[in-house]
Structure 1
Amino acid sequence: MTAPLPDTAPLTAPLPDWVIPPPEGFSADDFLRMSGLPPHTELIDGSLVFVSPQRKWHSGVVGRFWVELDAQAPEGWRADREMALKVGVRQVPEPDVLVVQEEAFLRKEPDTYYLPEEVLLVIEAVSPDSEERDRETKPGKYARAGVPHFWRIEEADGDSAVVYAYEFDPATRAYGVAGIHHDRFKVSSPFPVDIDLKEIRRKRAR
């Protein structure tokens, strides 16, 4: 009599649910419940957007602005980095830096994302693979969600940076340019901020 074959594990593990999107795309709620996604995955127009590994310049400028804004923000506000922002039914981008209400920063639930009404400022540091999203796609979504301030940071010669500051115009529900800053970033709105942009990578947060 032939002995039964032992149970064996399947040759391949089942695919995660997020590999094949539904016809209408994923909803924000679907996205926020997903597990096993690569780090810093975003949901844009119902589709998952995966990002390349961070370059040193990008990591440095994000860390620097996160630390400086958390130190310079007025009472009641905190800076956070690389947290999901639920801005629409099928929109969950992940800004590089956010300034949010301290109450939202400290709460226990939900602890994986913020809502637009809790956010004063979002920042995107542009990478080669994210130029179109950071310059066009995501600013429009932040503006339509009513986020008051948006800053875009671009790499300049050497280790420096250029900051493009935008403010929300409630009449047009779009951003208008508030200033373009080289070498030193010094503004009074939405609160006083002063950051030296020169050699920003060498001075990045540790």
Structure 2
Amino acid sequence: MSVEPEASKPSWPVPPVGGWTADDLDRLPNLPPHTELIDGSLVFVSPQTLFHERAVDFFKWQLQSVAPDDFEVVREFTIDIDWQNRPEPDVIVVRGDAIEGAEQTRFPAESVLLAIEVVSTESRTRDRETKPVKYARAKIPHYWRVESNEGRAVVYVFELEPATGQYTSTGIFHDRMKVSVPFLVDLDLTQITPRRNKAAEE
């Protein structure tokens, strides 16, 4: 008589009544890297494209090179919006006094001056609709959404309008991006395109 092996039980964490909380994100074991909390639900990140990786690196290092000394530029780090929302923007600019130490795992939303999301296929709805609403509600003054147009970066820039508490579009940038807030930035967006792709286009 053959005995079939028992199917292994799924190891996914079972949410409590009411959903997970921001503090749970630090306590749950074996979560995949860059897990976010959106409306009490865990959001896992899909494999990233080369465009996404290059764009995140580009904005992290370009902004770090021009940011005033009292600001910090950090990539892929969670922020506390409320007890059921702890998203992880791809790049953030925070006030330097929000830095507590090497073991820190999150920043309060009120310390964030700029949140940047690089859109991927699976994150499109979150980056275009869900997250901007939450960032605006948390009064983050600036939001940039970076998208790929056949491998070339397009940056959609938004600023919080204090009377409405919502983001207003202040520009769409293709090859070059120049803005004065939250500090002066002048970027060559074509640097995000891999050199091999550029050569093929020429």
Would you identify which runs of 4 or more consecutive aligned residues in structure 1 move more than 4 Å? 11-16
90 and 40 in structure 1: CA distance in 2 versus 1, 3 angstrom threshold = same
Tell me the equivalent position of 1:172: 164
Within 1, Cα distance between the matches of 2:88 and 2:28?
Answer: 15
Aligned letter for 1:93? P
2:187 to 160, 181, 195: 195
Residue 72 (structure 1) aligned to one of 61, 66, 80: 66
Asked whether the 8 Å contact 2:38–2:85 carries over to 1, the reply is yes
Larger Rg: 1
Partner of 1:162: 154
Distance 1:136 1:150, change over 3 A: same
Q: TM-score scaled to structure 2, two decimals?
A: 0.88
> What SS does structure 1 have at the residue aligned with 2:156?
strand
Q: Is the 8 A contact 1:120 1:149 kept in 2?
A: yes
The residue aligned with 1:114 is 107
Q: Return the match for 1:123 from 105, 116, 129.
A: 116
Q: Indicate the percent of aligned positions where both proteins have the same amino acid.
A: 49
User: Residue in 2 aligned with 1:3?
Assistant: none
Structure 2 unaligned spans of 5+: 1-5, 196-202
Which one-letter code corresponds to 2:111 in the other structure? Answer: E
- Once the 2 structures are TM-superposed, how far is the Cα of residue 108 of structure 1 from its aligned partner? 1.3
After superposition, give the CA deviation of every residue in 1:94-121 in whole Å (9 maximum; x if it has no partner): 000000112323x217610011111110
User: What is the distance in 2 between the residues matched to 1:15 and 1:130?
Assistant: 25
Q: Counterpart of 1:151 in structure 2: which amino acid? A: W
CA distance in 2, matches of 1:90, 1:148: 21
**Following superposition of structure 1 onto structure 2, how do residues 1-206 of structure 1 map, counting pairs within 5 Å?**
19-105=13-99, 107-108=100-101, 111-157=104-150, 159-202=151-194
TM-score, scaled relative to structure 1: 0.86
Instruction: Flag the structure with more relative contact order, 1 or 2, with Cα contacts below 8 A and sequence separation at least 6.
Output: 1
Please, which runs of 5 or more residues in structure 1 have no aligned partner?
A: 1-10
Matched positions, count: 190
Taking a change above 3 Å as real, the CA distance of residues 119 and 173 of structure 1, as seen in their structure-2 partners, is same
Amino acid in structure 2 at the alignment position of 1:77:
F
